[in-house]
Structure 1
Amino acid sequence: MTLYVATSNPGKLRDFAAADTLHIPIEPLPNLADIAPPPEDEPTFEGNAIAKALYYSHHAPGEIVIADDSGLEVDALHGAPGVRSARFAEDHNFLPMSPLPPDERNNLYLVETLTGVPLSDREARYHCVLAAARNGHILAIGHGAVEGEILTAPRGSGGFGYDPLFYLPTHHRTMAELDLATKLTLSHRGRAFAALLKELEPHLSSAKFT
């Protein structure tokens, strides 16, 4: 049996593979590029992950299909940007004519939004929820998170999203400054996948993986 993931993002697939303690084949959902994406209009990560897993499972009858939703939650912003993490600057019409990539615009807008907030009040987390479905039925849900703080200026050139601003006090570095091996051990997506596999075990125990 193979687990199919509704993504072709190499970073996400790498995170899943690194957290795969059961050594299960993990592949992108076949023909994903030809499938119209579902709306992501739920107010929570879990709601979006469930909706996407249910939707994509209908495109692979009999298979277990996994979908995720994830983002950044900043306590001083009451959990924002949350499910709108990828569209944070766009939602607020921040630098609409800028040639900057979306990630850079989002980071700039986050810095501006937190202007005046002291470092002691900049707690945040990366949060990921994964849902697994088969034939339109949810089989398992897994949550994963990593705690950190938001800096006043970006540091590091690795990673993506809010990584240059996401500081890990335990490592004295931002996510963008970590080497890949260390980052994989801290992946919120990897932690969510490990939790998902634990919940999926009853559905996998009789299966053969080749």
Structure 2
Amino acid sequence: MPSILNAATTSAGKLRDFSAAAGHSGIRIEPLPGLRDIPAPEEDQPTFEGNARLKAAYYSRFAPDLLVLADDSGLEVDALSGHPGVRSARYAADAGFSPAGVATLDERNNLYLLEQMKNIAAEVRTARYRCVLAVARGGEVLAIGEGAVEGSILTAPRGDGGFGYDPLFWLPELHKTMAEIDPAAKNGFSHRGRAFSALIAAMAEQNEKM
């Protein structure tokens, strides 16, 4: 098994989640060197796996000796036919939704989601977070891991932790949102933690290539 995976993301939240997920595996997560100088690829695939594979293969060509970790993840809301899905990070921007006084991308996305769901009853606000992780080297994808967590969407945000849609994503078994979970415990419930566990298993099967 490798000792280091170089993550192709500039998101501090994702890096934190990946590091937490890798905590007991003996694998260290480090940012991909020079990532900010590499032009981002167009994420034009219709599925999370397609985009994760695309990014892992793309970024690994810029560092052919390293194992590069890439992800695609997002929120699927059943009442919205699975949207925002692969467009989760761009949900508000795609719709041209940019209310005055709303500073961050996460805030805009959350407000737009609430607007889209304002007439949807509580019992049909079911949703899931989904994540696919891919590891590649030299342009070749070597392993894939997928994870999901089921929940529902609240009518107002709760909690100051996490990022993305976490303040709206309610976990019924915990009676908390993802943003209210202690960071140390989040790994056991998060889609990224589950995807990383699946990735570790897949990497073990591909150990000779690693």
TM-score (ref. length: structure 1): 0.91
Q: Which residue of 2 aligns with 1:32?
A: 35
CA distance in 2, matches of 1:195, 1:176: 23
Q: Quick one: which of 81, 103, 106 aligns to 2:106?
A: 103
Q: Which residue of 2 aligns with 1:43?
A: 46
Q: Percent identity?
A: 60
- Native 8 Å contact 1:107 1:165 kept in 2: yes
- Native 8 Å contact 1:90 1:96 kept in 2: no
1:28 CA displacement? 1.3
CA distance in 1, matches of 2:100, 2:138: 43
CA distance in 2, matches of 1:80, 1:127: 12
1:12 CA displacement? 1.9
Distance change in 2, residues 1:99/1:8 (3 Å): closer
CA distance in 2, matches of 1:184, 1:53: 22
CA distance in 2, matches of 1:33, 1:66: 15
Q: Report the RMSD for the aligned CA atoms in angstroms.
A: 1.8
User: Which ranges in structure 2 are unaligned for 5 or more consecutive residues?
Assistant: none
Aligned residue type for 1:146: V
- What is the 5 A alignment of 1:1-210? 1=2, 2-20=4-22, 21-95=24-98, 97-204=100-207
- Secondary structure at the counterpart of residue 9 of structure 2: coil
Distance change in 2, residues 1:206/1:108 (3 Å): closer
User: Which ranges in structure 1 are unaligned for 5 or more consecutive residues?
Assistant: none
TM-score (ref. length: structure 2): 0.91
Distance change in 2, residues 1:25/1:179 (3 Å): closer
Aligned residues: 207
- Secondary structure at the counterpart of residue 45 of structure 2: coil
1:96 CA displacement? 5.3
Aligned residue type for 2:161: G
